[in-house]
Amino acid sequence: EVQLEESGGRVVRPGGSLRLSCAASGFIFDDHGLNWVRQVPGKGLEWISFINWNGGSTAYADSVKGRFTISRDTAKNSLYLQMNSLRAEDTALYYCARLQLLGDAFDVWGQGTMVTVSS
Amino acid sequence: QSALTQPPSASGSPGQSVTISCTGTNSDVGGYDFVSWYQQHPGKAPKLLIYEVSKRPSGVPDRFSGSKSGNTASLTVSGLQAEDEADYYCSSLVSSTNYVFGTGTKVTVL
């Protein structure tokens, strides 16, 4: 079964750091670009970061550029999001989402991990 | 990058059709045929319904259809069913590596 499973979300103080993980299974990890998408509870989806199949290309939304870093580890079939200088407005449910093979739609999603930035 | 504009809500009776618009700019919706649509039920992850404007992944009923004209994409749900009550989001490629989502539309089945 094709699956993505996020972990690492917790309560963190403003200005703090956190690393999210996303474990992939059931598909050839290296074939796909991967993304992080977040959603404030009760609000809409926000794309925040992309990494291509081999990690050679990354992209970020302006809202997180310079503070967040996306990476991937083929040996562990895992995607990561290093989040620094966290702000209250980063509080959200963070999803990892797989990019279609040869496409630009998010065809597989995890269930999300909740990050709360609060003092 | 600003979110694509969707109406906050839409509704229809069972069996009817509802169409949701998704308006962007020449830099996103109008510039690429890479518009996708997602359905999200409460407490669940989004699910891909439509990709590349009008293509359906396997398993998605043909009641769901997509189209695009200029800077506006549309999702039509025909033959509304109770289980179609959910939030719907559009998304578009913005550049070779960046994406943007729509503001979301809550569909109510009356």
| Three-class HEC string of A9-60 | CCEECCCCCEEEEEEEECCCHHHCCEEEEEECCCCCEEEEEEECCCCCCEEE
Out of A45, A95, A112, name the one closest to residue B89 (CB).
Answer: A45
Q: Is A63 on the interface with B (CB under 8 A)?
A: no
Interface check B36 vs A, CB under 8 A:
yes
Higher pLDDT, B95 or B37: B37
Which amino acid is residue A79, in one-letter code?
A: L
pLDDT (0 to 100) of residue A8: 98
pLDDT at site B95: 84
A22 near B CB under 8 A: no
Question: What pLDDT digit, counting tens, does each position of B47-103 carry?
Answer: 999 999 999 999 999 999 999 999 999 999 999 999 999 999 999 999 888 999 999
For chain A, the average pLDDT equals: 97
Any residues with CB less than 8 A from the CB of B83 and at least 6 apart, and which?
A: none
Q: Given B40, B45, B100, which is nearest A111 (Cβ)?
A: B45
Please tell me the distance from the alpha carbon of residue A111 to that of residue A75, in angstroms, as a whole number.
23
Interface A–B counts its CB contacts (< 8 A) at 69
Chain A CB within 8 Å of residue B51 CB: yes
pLDDT of residue A103: 82
**Can you tell me the mean pLDDT for B15-41?**
96
Say if CB B22 and CB B5 are below 8 A apart: yes
pLDDT 10s digits, A28-52: 999 999 999 999 999 999 999 999 9
Contact B22, B35 (CB under 8 A): yes
Residue that is written with structure tokens 């407490």 in the block = B43
